[in-house]
Amino acid sequence: AQRVTQPEKLLSVFKGAPVELKCNYSYSGSPELFWYVQYSRQRLQLLLRHISRESIKGFTADLNKGETSFHLKKPFAQEEDSAMYYCALSVSGGSYIPTFGRGTSLIVHP
Amino acid sequence: KAGVTQTPRYLIKTRGQQVTLSCSPISGHRSVSWYQQTPGQGLQFLFEYFSETQRNKGNFPGRFSGRQFSNSRSEMNVSTLELGDSALYLCASSLTGGPNEQFFGPGTRLTVL
């Protein structure tokens, strides 16, 4: 069975500080990993997926199969990054049936 | 382009009743997925419909069902409601399914008393 763990319910940083939102997963096959974001009073939206290898809004995430992790990183946090972040996993190459982590609330203080 | 809409936005039911939630996707989108979000279990995938056929299904009991119409609008039905069904139900639409270009609705908040 697939499992996604986001160990931090809340992460609080100051503007300009680096931020890392942790995501660990367990899955015996080849996973596809995603990060979703939900800003206050806005809808849930996809932030990035590991196969895209993109940087979105300054965020990057690298899939580390050895450590079964997909941490989300940004070198300099901005106040507008404050949001709820969800990590999700699906089977690679198969149907999109995501398993989500419980989410991490990121608060960036001015 | 109008976004994904869900009706009703709020709903209160009692145990044992059934409920139907509606989702209208973005025009042209053929895939509609449903999710349940609760404080206890977090965000969980219910099922996906594509061109009127259920294409994928999460791990939920048979009390949870859905359908999709020819105009891609989708309904989700929960029968014999239980207290634990209280949740925010989200739907998301996309052109072909999968996470890319997937747009979420605002959700329907269901409270079961």
Please give chain B's pLDDT, 113 residues, in tens.
679 999 999 999 999 999 999 999 999 999 999 999 998 889 999 999 999 999 999 999 999 999 999 999 999 999 999 999 999 999 999 988 877 778 999 999 999 99
B32 contacts on A by Cβ (under 8 Å): none
- A98 min Cα distance to partner chain B (Å): 6
The tokens describing B68, both together, are: 């999709």
Is B55 within 8 Å of A95 when comparing Cβ atoms?
yes
* B69/B104 Cα distance (integer angstroms): 19
How many alpha carbons fall within 13 Å on the CB side of residue A26?
Answer: 3
- Of all residues in chain B, the one with the smallest CA distance to A93 is B98
pLDDT at position B1: 65
CA A73 to chain CA mean position, Å: 9
Structure confidence by residue, pLDDT tens digits, A47-79: 998 888 788 899 999 889 899 999 999 999 999
Task: Please check the confidence at residue A18 and state whether its pLDDT lies above 90.
Answer: yes
